[in-house]
């Protein structure tokens, strides 16, 4: 199974192609659109979310809401393209308009211009933009449905916003309720404090980040491999999460806290009573690069959004003179969007791992093979 995306932030559309989905998977487009809407939600979002109302447009690979086994192609149309057509049309446009040469700190502008031989950062930032994640959420929502047939569920919540942190353990069954909250937080008091901080940052023209926890429930043991470094499940999942824009750190299970403790306080003891089990899950459901049957626990650190309303000090790429980075329409905080994107990234990576082990041309065949696993 393979998933790729294409498209620019202010281009005609974001598009995706998923290759390798078995035939017979029932597609729920309302659920996909629901996740696309959640990606645009959250306290602290900017003006573009009022322009775009994302919905999936399936182009191929599905008939009568069921996959055919052929490549599934889809598009998420950019409503804002009409306002940018004069500057973005692939058929010909005014490339001098909306030009960006004052490279923005924290963005792909400078490195991308040097790498691709550009003199306008617009030719880099349009693809590097987090708008690309609309396609990843659409594709991830489809692959989430593939995993759901096997009984594998993915959810998450926001643990921390700019240092205001909820350290309580949350059962998997509580996590979905976070999506009805303004900041996807489950502690009402912490969430209110975070919202007040976001208001302060907005007044100051500043931004924030935070920490997101993603969980996977229902995955049987043995997915991933200890035989080759590139096949380790934690390596695959962490790479998927790190590929999401603005993510600067990822941990599994106890993560970095384990480095400060003794081994006796970290490793999960194993017991047997008709089946093997553990009473703790500090390993986060992965041992030796393989799933061990426990919940998979992943966390990601999101940096503050680098587009500030008060532009940071920089240099003009053409003149080499000091300048202030352009302050465009921006979010103060997009951590709710990041949570949905991370769920989708995990769904995509996990679906590839599951598909590699199970194979199968038809969903019923895949389901039988999964159920037959110990």
Note whether 142 and 28 are within 8 A (CB): no
Q: How far from each other are the two terminal CA atoms of the chain, in whole angstroms?
A: 23
Nearest to 76 by CA among 52, 42, 51: 52
Cα three-residue angle 361-364-367, rounded to 5 degrees: 100
Residue 17 pLDDT: 98
* Local confidence pLDDT in tens for the 374 residues of the chain: 999 999 999 999 999 999 999 999 999 999 999 999 999 999 988 765 566 689 999 999 999 999 999 999 999 999 999 999 999 999 999 999 999 999 999 999 999 999 999 999 999 999 999 999 999 999 999 999 999 999 999 999 999 999 999 999 999 999 999 999 999 999 999 999 999 999 999 999 899 999 999 999 999 999 999 999 999 999 999 999 999 999 999 999 999 999 999 999 999 999 999 999 999 999 999 999 999 999 999 999 999 998 888 788 999 999 999 999 976 657 899 999 999 999 999 999 999 999 999 999 999 999 999 999 98
Note whether 61 and 3 are within 8 A (CB): no
Residue 44 pLDDT: 87
Residue 202 backbone zone (phi > 0: left; psi -120 to 50: alpha; other: beta): alpha
Note whether 53 and 134 are within 8 A (CB): no
Q: What are phi and psi of 297, to 5 degrees?
A: -120, 120
- 143/217 Cα distance (integer angstroms): 15
Residue 47 pLDDT: 61
Third-level CATH fold of 2-372:
Chorismate synthase, AroC fold (3.60.150)
Q: How many residues belong to the chain?
A: 374
Residue 2 pLDDT: 96
Residue 289 pLDDT: 98
The predicted model scores a pTM of 0.95
Residue 186 pLDDT: 97
- 229/354 Cα distance (integer angstroms): 17
Q: Where are the alpha helices (DSSP H) in the chain?
A: 29-39, 48-51, 81-88, 109-116, 122-128, 133-149, 172-175, 188-204, 233-242, 335-358, 363-372
Residue 156 pLDDT: 98
Would you kindly state where each structural domain of the chain is located, as residue ranges? 2-372
Residue 310 pLDDT: 78
């Amino acid at each position: 199974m393979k998933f790729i995306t294409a498209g620019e932030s202010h281009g005609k559309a974001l598009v995706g192609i998923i290759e390798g989905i078995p035939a017979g998977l029932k597609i729920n487009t309302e659920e996909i659109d629901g996740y696309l809407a959640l990606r645009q939600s959250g306290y602290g979002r900017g003006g573009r979310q009022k322009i775009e109302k994302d919905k999936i447009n399936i182009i191929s690979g599905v008939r009568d809401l069921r996959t055919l086994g052929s490549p599934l192609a889809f598009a998420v149309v950019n409503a804002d393209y009409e306002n940018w057509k004069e500057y973005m049309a692939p058929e010909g446009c005014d490339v001098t308009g909306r030009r960006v040469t004052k490279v923005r700190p924290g963005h792909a502008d400078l490195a991308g211009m040097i790498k691709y031989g550009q003199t306008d950062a617009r030719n880099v930032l349009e693809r590097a933009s987090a708008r690309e994640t609309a396609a990843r959420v659409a594709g991830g929502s489809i692959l989430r449905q593939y995993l759901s047939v096997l009984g594998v569920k993915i959810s998450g919540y926001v643990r921390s916003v700019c240092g205001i942190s909820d350290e309580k353990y949350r059962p998997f069954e509580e996590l979905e309720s976070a999506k009805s909250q303004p900041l996807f937080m489950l502690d009402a008091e912490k969430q209110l404090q975070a919202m007040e901080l976001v208001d302060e940052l907005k007044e100051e023209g500043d931004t924030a980040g935070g920490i997101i926890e993603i969980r996977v429930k229902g995955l049987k043991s043995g997915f991933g491999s200890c035989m080759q470094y590139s096949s380790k499940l934690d390596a695959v999942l962490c790479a998927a999460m790190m590929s999401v824009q603005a993510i600067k750190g990822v941990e599994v299970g106890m993560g970095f806290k384990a480095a400060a403790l003794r081994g006796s306080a970290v490793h999960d003891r194993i017991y047997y009573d008709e089946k093997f089990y553990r009473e703790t899950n500090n390993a986060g459901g992965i041992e030796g690069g393989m799933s061990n049957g426990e919940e998979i626990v992943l966390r990601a650190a999101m940096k503050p959004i680098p587009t500030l309303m008060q532009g940071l000090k920089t240099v003009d790429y053409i003149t080499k003179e000091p300048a202030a980075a352009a302050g465009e329409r921006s979010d103060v905080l997009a951590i709710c969007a990041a949570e949905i994107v991370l769920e989708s990234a995990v769904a995509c990576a996990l679906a590839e791992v599951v598909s590699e082990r199970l194979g199968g041309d038809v969903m019923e065949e895949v389901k039988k093979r999964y159920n037959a696993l110990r």
